[in-house]
A and B are shown apart, each in its own frame.
Chain A
Amino acid sequence: MSTITPIVMPKWGLSMKEGTVIEWLVEEGCIITTGMPIIDMETDKLANAVEAPDPGILRRKVASAGDLLPVKALLGVMADQDVSDAEIDAYIAAYVTPVATDEEDSSAQAFQYIEVDGIRVRYVQKGGSTGTPVLLIHGYGGDLDNWLFNIDALSEKAPVIALDLPGHGQSAVKLPAGVNLVAQAGFVVHFLDAINVTRAHMVGHSMGAAIASQIALDAPQYVASLTLIGSAGLGAEINSAYIDGFANAQSRRELKPVLEILFSDPALVSRQLVDDVLRYKRLDGVGSLLVELGQALFCDGKQNEQPGLKLGSSCPALVIWGRDDRVIPVNHASNAPKGATVEILEGVGHMVQLERASEVNRLIIQHISA
């Protein structure tokens, strides 16, 4: 029995309780390697492929297309050829889906709120308390759910903190005075002070990466390392169709094509994803806030501030880009600070950490362990 490895429903993010199997991508008998996409899955947030956490031979598909199953439910069974079908049957029959504990189950408990500079922000902390934490900073119009597939994986190696920036997600609909990157970087530093973090591995996406770069310039003592994903602030161009479209879209019909610009595979933009963004955009004040922020940072297709270009080689930096990024051009990766590790991922758009989560997690873990 010890050679039987279960494939179970993964937990993508704090609020995920169940997922729907769309289709199997591999056949029984197939030899599976770690990281191989094996099942297309859909949650109420997003569609994505389940990647194999372990290698082995797929002996049995337990879940079928269309099944709605809880987290940790048995999806399939891997085992060596010498394990008999009867043993596999017995394993499947005996498998009991672990019930989520209250603590795991309650996303309300996982989210915390703190007031910083008069702005209430939502954040999440996961993983142990020892070691330098990883701070995840999302981009323009995003929220901490942009790290849905990263928080849990990274928290196995280091404490992870992710926040909703001011005016984003479920933080207060208000921007730090000044609006520019310096103001936002200052705010994030004050946030770290408020939760008693003196130093962190800064991982930023898009505008969040520009904020991370700005922190490295203004308050380098807080920065253990930098990871810049699809980074703003490393060049001038930015797709104004995305920034303006996102700020101005009023309906699902208008928003969906805008969100599709973010991904290499537009099918990843699920109805729920569009609904979640609309829910955020329809909060009082968010529309004008996004316009104000967009104009301050990215007016007319130009990035007004480029802190990434001023970075020296003193801080270890990892730059990750999707080859098909349609928001910020991939050639900005060549402006990475001297000595930085640059990774270009093929077949991926702007939302690299969602579209190629395990690869990004692996690169970040490698980077922060160095």
Chain B
Amino acid sequence: MARKISMKQAVNEALDQAMAADPTVICMGEDIVGGAGGNGEMDAWGGVLGVTKGLYAKHPKQMMDTPLSESAYIGAAIGAAACGMRPVAELMFIDFMGVCFDQIFNQAAKFKYMFGGKAETPVVIRCMVGAGFRAAAQHSQMLTPLFAHIPGLKVVCPSNAYDTKGLLIQSIRDNDPVIFCEHKNLYAHECEVPEASYTIPFGEANIVREGKHCTIVTYGLMVHRSLDAAAVLAKEGVEVEIVDLRTLSPLDMDTVLESVTKTGRLVCVDEASPRCNIATDISAQVCMHAFGALKAQIEMVTPPHTPVPFSPVLEDMYIPSAAQIATAVRKTIKGSK
């Protein structure tokens, strides 16, 4: 498996293979085909960062540019899903979900329940998440907890290209609405990815590093910051186990509890704002189900409760760093019973 591709290519390949395999899979969104005044397919942009570039030429009947009206085309995608299509709508930035929130949490998430299981909504809403892109407070948020909060939605946030391809194909085949969160600062990250189509099931966390002293539970870009912290801690003789949740809803608590039971220590790292986020959720569940296993207080590493700053200096300070994560791990070791 020697071929390496980026996370951006992985998204493109997953959409390509899913559309080729199933004519009911359609993509819609702002500029996902072209725009920017280009003359033909070749100079088409393929979305704001070029993720869908080249797909229109291969699947002209399954790719649709939409007007700049999120509530209109997200609603259209959800309606098409209820009528037998498998739409993948690209919403650019998760920050814009607010304008079509009713369509998502009060319609798509509820159809199956409200219609007694007779309606299914196999829609995928792709969006970019996360800070570090110098895109200021309205294009940089990690709003994953908002969607994990809603029963009826599935929430995916991969950390690498391999997981991205398998989880996106799984999202498209899944019969429930999926919010698929792509961290923009991971688009260039490369790893080995099979050329063939494959899926990764929801609700299975990945242990990206094994260790016995402390468990870090995280997802998305923070997986990489945690790995950096683990490399530093290893030199101090501290072996950290890192659990990459991959899907935030459903959530693989079994793997989290198993790991915490083994290590006795927990650090939750979340790029989302500190109140009511994935870190607080995991911490609460571990307290409830594995309190006896804990040898020390749980630590959380999150940004401060502020908008994402536009100043590059402040933005870099805002995002949790490997140094902060390492400090939190050391606190759990020091604070042990």
Contact = CB atoms under 8 A, between A and B. Distances in A.
Q: Do A and B form a real pair?
A: yes
A284 B207 contact: no
B199 A271 contact: no
Interface stretch (A27-35, A146-154, A235-243, A248-256): A248-256
B201 A251 contact: yes
A108 B2 contact: yes
A88 B109 CA distance: 70
A282 B199 contact: yes
A15 B4 CA distance: 14
Contacts of B200: 282
B198 A283 contact: yes
Nearest to B205: A252
A271 B210 contact: yes
A107 interface: yes
Contacts of A108: 2-3
A283 B2 contact: no
Contact of B196 (A106, A173, A253): A173
Interface residues of A, number: 17
B204 A271 contact: no
A180 interface: no
Given A271-B207, A282-B166, A250 B196 contact: no
Chain B interface, >50% SS class: loop
B42 interface: no
A15 B196 contact: no
Contacts of B210: 271
Contacts of B188: none
A304 interface: no
Interface string A162-179: 000000001001000000
A66 B199 contact: no
B2 A284 contact: no
A62 to B, nearest CB: 18
Among B2, B199, B201, max chain A CB count under 10 A is at B2
A284 B196 contact: yes
B197 A283 contact: yes
A284 B201 contact: no
A279 B2 contact: no
A80 B1 CA distance: 44
B254 interface: yes
A284 B254 contact: no
B201 A250 contact: yes
B234 interface: yes
Interface string A281-309: 01110000000000000000000000000
Contacts of A250: 201
B194 interface: yes
Contacts of A106: 2
Interface in A312-335: none
A173 B162 CA distance: 19
A252 B198 contact: no
B198 A284 contact: yes
Contacts of A15: 2
B204 A251 contact: yes
Contacts of B204: 251-252
Contacts of B194: 170, 279, 283
A286 to B, nearest CB: 8
A284 B1 contact: no
A95 interface: no
Contacts of B162: 279
A170 B1 contact: yes
Contacts of A253: 254
Contacts of B3: 108
Interface string A97-112: 0000000001110010
A248 to B, nearest CB: 13
B198 A279 contact: yes
A210 B33 CA distance: 53
Contacts of A66: 234
Contacts of A107: 2
A104 to B, nearest CB: 14
A253 B253 CA distance: 13
A107 B1 CA distance: 9
Contacts of B166: 282
A167 to B, nearest CB: 12
A232 B197 CA distance: 31
A252 B243 CA distance: 14
Nearest to B203: A251
Given A108-B2, A111-B2, 5 more contacts: A252-B204, A271-B207, A279-B194, A282-B199, A284-B196
Those 7 A-B pairs whose CB atoms lie nearest each other, nearest first: A108-B2, A284-B197, A283-B198, A282-B198, A283-B196, A107-B2, A251-B204
18 contacts: A15-B2, A66-B234, A106-B2, A107-B2, A170-B1, A170-B194, A173-B196, A250-B201, A251-B201, A251-B204, A253-B254, A279-B194, A282-B198, A282-B199, A282-B200, A283-B196, A283-B197, A284-B198
